[in-house]
Chain A
Amino acid sequence: MSPAALDLRRLDLDPATVRQARSLARAAGKPIVRLARTHSTVSVERAVLRLAGLSGADADGIPWVNRLVDEVRSQTGLEHGVALPVWDALRRSGDGDLTALAQRAATGGVELRVPEGKEADRARTASTRAVGRGIATIDRRRTERERMVAKVGDAPRQPWIYLIVATGDIYEDIPQAQAAAREGADVIAVIRSTGQSLLDYVPEGATREGYAGTYATQENFRLMREALDDVSRELGRYVRLTNYASGLCMPEIATLAGLERLDMMLNDSMYGILFRDINPVRTFVDQRFSRQVHARAGIIINTGEDNYLTTADAVDEAHTVTVSQLLNEYFAKEAGLEDWQLGLGHAFEINPDLPDSFRLELAHAMLARELFPKAPLKWMPPTKHMTGDVFRGYLLDGFFNLVGALTGQGILLVGMMTEAVVTPFLSDRDLALQNVRYVLDAAGALHEDFRPPPGGFIQRRAHQVLEEAVDLLGRITAEPGKAPLLEAIGDGTFGLMKRPADKGKGADGVVVQDKDYWNPATEILEGRA
């Protein structure tokens, strides 16, 4: 159902409080954006090279983009960006072959410098032209998607049914993904190999060895998208493909996703910081660039608010979800994403033994729906209270689906009764899809009849969570320093995790931009070139 079909004022939220929440999120986010505009990272610079067509890896599997960025860094520093020294060296080398340059540079055979004056102008022009070709490919992919959706048809209804495959082997994933699509999945997510978010490079090629998931590589993206195109034509509906940008290589993975026509990406503004201990500045700089690429590629982002509830109490900490959604919304829009691209996350994680747990879930989900009426919210199934009692888990998933139907969710991640037990069996997936279909068929339009009474439990709870969110945002923005949000993250405001701005993985990959910093991708994405 389109959110527009919903009566969006079922909770009677105070418009002034909603405005206050948004303006506090903006106040918290603005200094972070300033930070992102004045810094760069190794991954942003590598993404620039990827957009210019540099791919492949050396004999040890280290991507050429890493080798070249490292070489630039050691010779000239990264403060000027990678484009000026690289395109200056390309011009001087005469052959204009980026891969050949990277290979020569890796053996120390290229003298890199920061060009000045006319030579700098030439490097800027040439790099803009090269990166522009990559962005043009992303634009073509976006058009291709739009044409294909128009031609073969779109998912039959919302919420889109989102299923995960994860074998570690792309060639096993493909038949599983096609089977899942035939069984009714509208979106296929290929879970990444567990440690990938902490790798400071993107592996190359088709991979068959993953750990609890399959590596995100350009070739794996291409293979899976091609397989889903086949099944989309067979089924007469466009089956979307999702992967994960979050981690140390957000800008590059976002770029590869755009080049290979992925349709959705997990991209959260703070997940890497809080849950992966990635340096906060690195994360925010990478996040902004990656979201600019997603915006251009027409990719829908999925944010990771479900994680807050799996590590903290889903009732006490419900407002942290709202705060994170508001921050994710601010950062996303600042980066150029539109409402339809905001798959803001939330999850069904309240302890089912708690009285009124279902009513609380409903209140929280309705709050998200009403705060973000045009966003395709991403609704995540129970995991924390899936105990191994698969029968009870199946019932819980049914209630989860019911909340999804009642609140007009855009994307529904299908819950598995084997959550926390085993990798789902074929039959578990089938049963899970039956559960979803039953609930959507039986109660998909129930939202038309359902309006919580004014001043009743659900309305009161939603108001309370919103007020708590406003309080928390108020505390964040009241922190001292130039970037209060960084202070808040540093002193453990989100969950119990303290993440100081100068600590965390990947901190050494951050540089402050020099005044002559040049990034042709940002120039194009921000409409200046």
Chain B
Amino acid sequence: MTGRGKCSAQGPVVRPYGDTTGDGMVQVSFTLPVPHDKRAEGAALQLAAKMGLDPAMLVHAKAMGPDFTFFVVYGSVTHLVDLTAVQVIEREYPLLSAKDVNAAIKKTLRRKLVVIGACIGTDAHTVGIDAILNIKGFAGEKGLEYYREVKVVNLGAQVLVPELVAHARAEKADAVLVSQVVTQRDAHLTNTKEMSAAFRESYPAGATPLLVVGGPRFDEHATAELGVDRIFGRGTTPGEVASYLVHALTTRPRAA
């Protein structure tokens, strides 16, 4: 769901804030593949100008070996931000406490909600999925294992997609949570598409479990493209995931 962002107190148009309202100040750093000399510094300022920094101050330039130069540039950016044109995914469900999550599951499902989690493909980074599932949790919130009415099956790392589908079927999973951290060659996108296609193939239409992916480098808008129900980005807490699952599964009871 996309929504309109709220306008801040000073109006719908803002500029970056350095130390004074409206000064537009930003800091960027980058490397150019040129030896460090006067020309390199000029090149850095040219890039800064093209990025909309005017005036730009080259505050640091350092040779990195014979062929590269590293720059830090401060400057006022000429671009304006129109807050009315910002598109974000607003949370469309209420944030529930663990107690409320358990109560809602009991009332509407009348059984435990089954969640299967895994890192798929060759991704061995279980930090994300563990933060959401392990009782230890994340950001001071306990993970889904802590929820009395949630049954968690954490398959761990490097789970093959067919294995994941088989486990989901065997456990009659209500939701499948997949974490993807490795992004080289867009592996996170490829793996997610492969995963959602496999579920669509092996379940009757409309009967697939809720497919949820999470990872630091996903675009939260890309659900349709990836074939999943929901994408969670960096900083997501177990409570948000639990609240979402309850919302999605109890307000839209699924076939099967």
A182 touches B29 (CB 8 A): no
Knowing A194-B182, A277-B156, A497-B156 touch, does A420 contact B216 (C-beta < 8 A)?
A: yes
Knowing A195-B122, A427-B70 touch, does A212 contact B184 (C-beta < 8 A)?
A: yes
- Bound Cα distance from A104 to B126, whole angstroms: 45
- Bound Cα distance from A425 to B29, whole angstroms: 11
Contact with B along A376-390 (1 / 0, CB 8 A): 000000001000100
Q: Which of A195, A212, A430 contacts B70 (CB 8 A)?
A: A430
Contacts of B70 in A (CB 8 A): 426-427, 430
- Bound Cα distance from A211 to B190, whole angstroms: 13
Knowing A195-B158, A211-B122 touch, does A427 contact B184 (C-beta < 8 A)?
A: no
A388 touches B234 (CB 8 A): yes
- Bound Cα distance from A211 to B185, whole angstroms: 8
- Bound Cα distance from A523 to B252, whole angstroms: 67
- Bound Cα distance from A520 to B216, whole angstroms: 50
> Which residues between 167 and 181 of chain A lie within 8 Å of chain B, taking CB atoms?
168, 179
Q: Which of B31, B65, B157, B187 contacts A425 (CB 8 A)?
A: B31
Q: What residue in chain B is nearest A210 (Cβ atoms)?
A: B184
> Which residues between 3 and 61 of chain A lie within 8 Å of chain B, taking CB atoms?
none
Knowing A183-B65, A275-B157, A496-B134 touch, does A423 contact B127 (C-beta < 8 A)?
A: no
* Interface size of B as a range: 20 to 34
Q: What residue in chain A is nearest B31 (Cβ atoms)?
A: A427
State whether the Cβ of B130 lies closer than 8 Å to any Cβ in chain A: yes
Q: What residue in chain B is nearest A182 (Cβ atoms)?
A: B65
Contacts of A111 in B (CB 8 A): none
Q: Which of B68, B127, B158 contacts A198 (CB 8 A)?
A: B158
- Bound Cα distance from A310 to B157, whole angstroms: 14
Q: What residue in chain B is nearest A496 (Cβ atoms)?
A: B134
Q: What residue in chain A is nearest B158 (Cβ atoms)?
A: A198
> Which residues between 255 and 305 of chain A lie within 8 Å of chain B, taking CB atoms?
275-277
Knowing A194-B122, A211-B122, A211-B185 touch, does A313 contact B136 (C-beta < 8 A)?
A: yes
State whether the Cβ of B123 lies closer than 8 Å to any Cβ in chain A: yes
State whether the Cβ of A75 lies closer than 8 Å to any Cβ in chain B: no
Contacts of A182 in B (CB 8 A): 65
- Bound Cα distance from A496 to B134, whole angstroms: 9
- Bound Cα distance from A276 to B122, whole angstroms: 11
A212 touches B31 (CB 8 A): no
A423 touches B184 (CB 8 A): yes
State whether the Cβ of A311 lies closer than 8 Å to any Cβ in chain B: yes
State whether the Cβ of B248 lies closer than 8 Å to any Cβ in chain A: no
- Bound Cα distance from A497 to B124, whole angstroms: 14
B182 touches A179 (CB 8 A): no
- Bound Cα distance from A311 to B126, whole angstroms: 7
